[in-house]
Chains A and B, each alone.
Chain A
Amino acid sequence: MRTGWNGAGDAVRLEAVRKDYGNGVAALDGVSLAFGRGEFTAVMGPSGSGKSTFLHCAAGLDRPSAGTVTLDGQNLGELSEARLTKLRRDRVGFVFQAFNLLPALTVEQNVLLPHQLAGRRPDRGLVDQILRRVGLAERRRHLPGQLSGGQQQRVAIARALITDPAVVFADEPTGALDTRTAAEVLALLRESVQASGQTVIMVTHDPVAASYADRVVFLADGRIAGELPRPTADAVAERMTHLGAWAAVGA
């Protein structure tokens, strides 16, 4: 179990995080979790388990009602909105399910966007290297509308990696893709963890996607409902079935 408090060098650490949306139900109910550097973690759970809220809070997109979130050694609760935005820009990469790219910008421009927002000189060499890594070096001048869904997700991954972030958050990155394309995208995420020690936290409900991770954390009703190291798709699926039943009993 790596749910403890021992790793001061953790990429992301949540301590007793709670999130209420003002309707009496806690979307997150005292979640404590740590994610080590270079680790690929999948967060799973049935609908309404608090997966999305967890991602929003862990990535600094939203503020928890209670508890602390530490990202790359920085307590997010201490930051102003502008500082938080800058931290996201510099230390966090995002891959969403869909609508990851600005339709007005080319592949290359989309990838470079975080640099431009930070007012940094675009590093052409780095873009070349990253686009080659995701296999889209020839498509750099295309607009997102001219790419397939899988290619768009690969561009999104390239953009997430360009700042060399402390952690990449992926929200159902394969949710809108067919199985074969999904496998390519997941392999790319896996590869970035293995090759360059990237930390990846992926929220998904797909057991096959989760099987690419180093470990799976299960959420149910806003609480941690278990963990599975070195998962296989079958094991995850079985656990999920169980979790669904457990959640049904608990409800």
Chain B
Amino acid sequence: MLRLVLRTLRLRKGGFVATFVAVFFGAVLVSACAGLMETGIRSDAQPQRLAGAPIVIGGQQEIDIAREDPAEHDSAKGKALKTRTVTLPERVRLDAGLAGRVRSVPGVTGAVAEVSFPAMLPKAAGAGILGHAWDSAALTPYALTSGHAPAPGETVLDAELARRAGLSVGDRVDIAAHGTTGAYRIAGIAAAPRTMTRSAVFFAPADAERLSGHPGRADAIGVFTTGDVAAVAARVRDVLQDANDANAVVLTGDERGQFEFPEADASGEKLIVLSGVTGGLAVSVAIFVVASTLALSTQQRQRELALLRAIGTTPRQLRRMVLGEAMGVGLLATVLAVLPGRFAGQLLFDRFVANGVVPAEVIFHQGWVPAVVAAGAVLLAVLLAAVAVGYRAGRVRPTEALAEALAEAAVRTRWLTPTRIILAVLCFAGGTALAIVTVAVMSGPVAASTAGPAVMLWAIGVATISPGVTKATAVLLHLPVKLFTGVNGWLALRNTRVGALRVSGAVTPIMLAVGVATANIYLQTTQEAVSNQAFTEDLRADAVVSGPGGLAPELVRRVQDVPGVAGASEYVTSKAYVEQPYESGQKKKGRPALGLTANGAARTTATQVVAGSLDALSGDAVAVPADLATDLGRNVGDRMTLRLGDGARADLRVVALVKQRPGFESFVLPADLLASHTSAGLAPQLLVRAEPGVDPGTLATRLRAATRGFPVTVGDRETLIAAHEKGNEIGAWINYLLVGMIMAYTVISVANTLVMATARRRQEFGLQRLTGFTRAQVLRMAGIEGGLTALIGIVLGTVVSAGAIVPFCLVASDSLLPSGPLSIYLAVIGLAAALTLVATLVPAWFATRGRPSDATAIGE
């Protein structure tokens, strides 16, 4: 049997090209995704700033939150409380005094606390400048190339930054950090022994402590040793454990990069989700596409299979043969895809970095593990497809070998098997159930989460009955096509109806491409539109004061005193987890927390107060979403404990119950409290509401005057909205890229299938010409058939995507139709139609090139 498989593969290369191409591109896509996933899971970023210290101690960025009510937990039973580990969004800092304790550990030759804070030089545009204390220069190590160490009021710049800003020793420079601007004299220039992606400015230790905003707390502690790194690190761990400082983590090697680039972890999660979704989608699309190419190649040698059955091949042997052929092609394609898959992964990763989705410091990894996993997943897809096709092949009736005309054998009318009916019913039921759940239960942006599975369910459902749907659509189109196209159209319709099984092989992938692309893109645009709308509607501010390094706390008061300002509030965003009372089903990402200034909160945000008042929002106060408060059994005046963004516990007093837009419910805390538990330590923005009748231009001018001397910018409402939309764009860009890839993949397969199917119809075309068709008429007929195929695929794809989008739109925007430009849909269907036509007409042109009698000659 193996020999037959191999020989068949060798001789019938043409018939398997489509399957090969489908598997190959599928494997490239999946292995690229697998590479991105490995990169995401490892989130490796090589240390730069901390590279000089072989051992680094940093804050524990993970905490455990309860997954069962501690009150009901019976500790007497000896079972530990069920918890889940979550990653904190804000930087967890260490007590700087830890450095002193570590220094006494045997083998440690030195320990230096590291603080880093964003700094800005007016002459060197661009972010990515970090301020540090000069005594921590050894952590890189930075060494002076000229000048001397900074005294208070002095600074040392890294060589690259000095060159970029055109500064040299002795110059005076304004540096903004922690909300204020100060003038410093450049005491020296320092250079690092390696390329740094971020620039550094050094201050005298006392200045650095002040500018960091968190005196006594360190971002990390670098530990030096001349001995065995692992052994010393273990000893340091022991010492920290004895000191009961579970808050600290000791890392060595590349892992040290985590402390330096905590955002690598966050981007890692993004990568994991992205690559998981895309890879999964690619695998499911591959099952479809491979099944349709295999079905086509099997169907085209129906007679061969029937002959095998007649001379004594059991259905089982036939199934094994189809399986063997498919796996043979699949294996070859998968192996060949390994290298291109690597390049594709690297290429995608570079695009992510270029678009700011992933920080440049993250190292791309695509080892053998993702390669094997990807190959396994793709081969599994091929196997599933081959099993489905093989099952059908095994049912070929031996008498078909005796049928006199080839056409008779090729046309199979029986396709609606019980399995198909059951599968279709299950899928449609699932799709409907998801729609009902979405509309009835879900609210806000969460509703989008059902759309992905819904698209696949509808698509599988339609795919299982696609021959029938193809036939039905052909019948429906009978009259219009006949009216406009005459005999060619009539024949094309007959061909489509009678050869519905063949045509559906092309319809299914077109349906998939159109369905998946339309659903995903419009899901994205609708989500964006809804989010932008929500943001715009909720934004009560007429102007915004923002400072990338944070706003000095006294600015609020100053701005509130500006004439024409009705209200002003700091605006801080972070996350919080509920610790006490127990909240079941808490999300891994926690709940958004909003920091506002008490006397400006009501005027600058759309937060509706149900009970209590936001005016009391100071000290240990919190406003809680009303529904959550009901769930937790808390009311105004009660207390509850939250874990804030940096993991700190906060025992808070409920001062108000608030109602927000569904899906955007968040805690509201005093701005200063929340800001002190963020990485920056300060509020990044200040929202300002003008008194009625105050001109926005006048307001902006007054605000600029009031904030003169501070490193801030004043923007209007549009600035805020534009910034919000820009943030969305990154997400959108990724989605478009991935959808584009899936679409391209599907389209390649469609083209493949069509080219193969059309080229095989030489005999039929020849016969038509012998009976009096001109070549142009044959081509026209083929063109109409291609058009019909595309039309049916597009209609079905649209229906499939509607099955997923409409429920979401109903929930998110109370409308049946998604928001977003119509041009995207037109582009998608235009592409699908153009490709189908080209892939039909070009091979048809070739197939009708010779004399018609050549084509009808008997023989294979």
Contact = CB atoms under 8 A, between A and B. Distances in A.
Contacts of A92: 312
Contacts of B303: 99
Nearest to B316: A82
B313 A85 contact: yes
B402 A171 contact: yes
Contacts of A116: 1, 3-4
A82 B402 CA distance: 20
A20 to B, nearest CB: 15
Nearest to B400: A61
A191 B495 CA distance: 46
A131 B306 CA distance: 25
A117 interface: yes
Is the interface on chain B under 10, 10 to 19, 20 to 34, or 35 or more residues? 20 to 34
A109 B282 CA distance: 40
Interface stretch (B8-16, B22-30, B35-43, B358-366): B8-16
Given A61-B398, A96-B401, A86 B314 contact: yes
Contacts of A223: none
B732 interface: no
B7 A104 contact: yes
B503 to A, nearest CB: 25
B307 A96 contact: yes
B304 A102 contact: yes
A117 B318 CA distance: 10
Nearest to B395: A81
Contacts of A82: 314-316
Interface string A119-144: 00000000000000000000000011
A62 to B, nearest CB: 5
B404 interface: yes
B750 to A, nearest CB: 27
A118 B860 CA distance: 27
Contacts of B317: 117
A240 B57 CA distance: 103
A85 B402 contact: no
A235 B398 CA distance: 34
Interface string A46-78: 000000100110000110000000000000000
A94 B310 contact: yes
B510 to A, nearest CB: 31
A96 B308 contact: no
Q: Which of A81, A100, A102 has the most CB of B within 10 A?
A: A102
Contacts of A103: 11-12, 304, 860
A52 B307 CA distance: 16
A26 interface: no
Contacts of A117: 308, 311-314, 317
B858 interface: yes
Nearest to B10: A104
A90 interface: yes
Contacts of B309: 85
A82 B312 CA distance: 9
A134 to B, nearest CB: 17
A113 interface: yes
B304 A85 contact: no
6 contacts: A82-B314, A82-B315, A89-B311, A89-B312, A98-B858, A114-B312
Interface of A: 52, 55-56, 61-62, 81-82, 85-86, 88-90, 92, 94, 96-100, 102-105, 109, 113-114, 116-118, 143-145, 159, 171, 176
Interface of B: 1, 3-4, 7-8, 10-12, 303-304, 307-317, 397-399, 401-402, 404, 858-860
